[in-house]
Amino acid sequence: MSTSTLAHEIAAPAALPKFPLNQWYVAGFAWELKDQPLGRTLLGKPLVLFRTADGRPAALEDRCCHRALPLSHGTLEERGVRCGYHGLLFNGDGQCLEVPGQAKIPSKAKVPAYPVRERDQLIWVWFGNADQPQPNCEPPAYEFHSNDDYLFEGGAYHYDAPYQLIHDNLLDLSHLGYVHLRTIGGNASIHMNAQMRVDSDDTHVKVTRHMPGSQPPPTYTAAYPFKGKVDRWQEIEFHVSHLRIWTGAADAGTESLDDPQRGGFHMRGFHGVTPETETTSHYFWTMATNPKDNREAIAAKVVEQTVLTFDEDKGVIEAQYQNMLEFADRPMVDIHVDVGANRARRIIEQLRQQS
């Protein structure tokens, strides 16, 4: 190798990370961490998630340092996770506590640990860069998981599609009138012509859509005693690791759609969109609603309808991605409903550049 070539390689900048770092990402739900280790790949990193004896969540690299078996193939004990191959035992900090049949534990017998927090029934893992391996903030709260006025449930999807296609879908709810006719859709023309405002800064995007004088869709009429036409709203808040979507309706003319304390029927959706790899994704969702009467049954109905809509979205997004691969050389044309999604993509790219 010539001196000039060597100098060029030394001076070459480090490759950019595939995803924004120095962020908390959703890794799962509190109720998923039970009596077995949970293996899950996040941002291209295979992790094993489990609870320690005192109930704290832990996240380790999913690889035993002895012979590389995934620790998620092992078992949980009071002191930590035991490898299912030769029985090495690791605590929540990744330190090996025991090597069966061997008194001395090698000093290098440890696995990398990731910062992890549990908040409002969500498990968050911090992915930092070399300059910020430890978190500089706490993960965000989501108060509707503990608000007595709301009941919620949630679940997880695995997508064979890049995570930003899920962002695009959630930031553009104009598709409801075409994709979700049986549930939360409604009149497609009203959706496409909704009054829309898009606000953004360096890390967030908010899309606000108002549809006064609408006919309530099936999910709404099944959950709330509307008297006739309704004034509908959709407020979508994009954050790098998750989105918050507040949709709902009130009887036409009874509430100000600019009042954050307005009444009516509410659906508060949490959407933790975490890349698994560059081409696959995890989607952790919850739906909280505020039924007035027959609360448990109505909340269950809303969640059932929500699952139907998410099933429809998953089919659309995965088919979309396959066609994007099939027609990779074809350009795509933007329309007016793409403003929020395009701003979110610019934020992702800027934060990736800063990572």
Cα of 297 vs its chain's centroid, Å? 26
The CATH number of whichever domain residue 65 belongs to comes to: 2.102.10.10
Instruction: Supply 111's token pair.
Output: 């696995």
* Domain presence at residue 15: no
| pLDDT value at residue 166 | 97
| pLDDT value at residue 217 | 85
- Assess whether 185 and 260 both reside in one domain: yes
Instruction: With beta carbons less than 8 A apart as the criterion, state whether 158 and 318 touch.
Output: no
> For the chain, what is the domain count?
2
Give the residues of the chain that fall short of pLDDT 50.
8
Instruction: With beta carbons less than 8 A apart as the criterion, state whether 268 and 257 touch.
Output: no
Tell me which residue range forms the domain holding 40: 23-127
* Domain presence at residue 143: no
Nearest alpha carbon to residue 283 among 125, 126, 159: 159
* Domain presence at residue 17: no
* Domain presence at residue 1: no
| pLDDT value at residue 282 | 98
Out of 97, 127, 157, pick the residue that ends a domain.
127
d(CA 172, CA 31): 30
d(CA 90, CA 81): 5
- Assess whether 120 and 166 both reside in one domain: no
- Assess whether 102 and 187 both reside in one domain: no
| pLDDT value at residue 195 | 79
| pLDDT value at residue 221 | 86
The tens digit of pLDDT for each residue in 290-307 reads: 988 899 999 999 999 889
| pLDDT value at residue 193 | 63
- Assess whether 305 and 237 both reside in one domain: yes
For residue 326, count other CB atoms closer than 10 A to its CB: 9
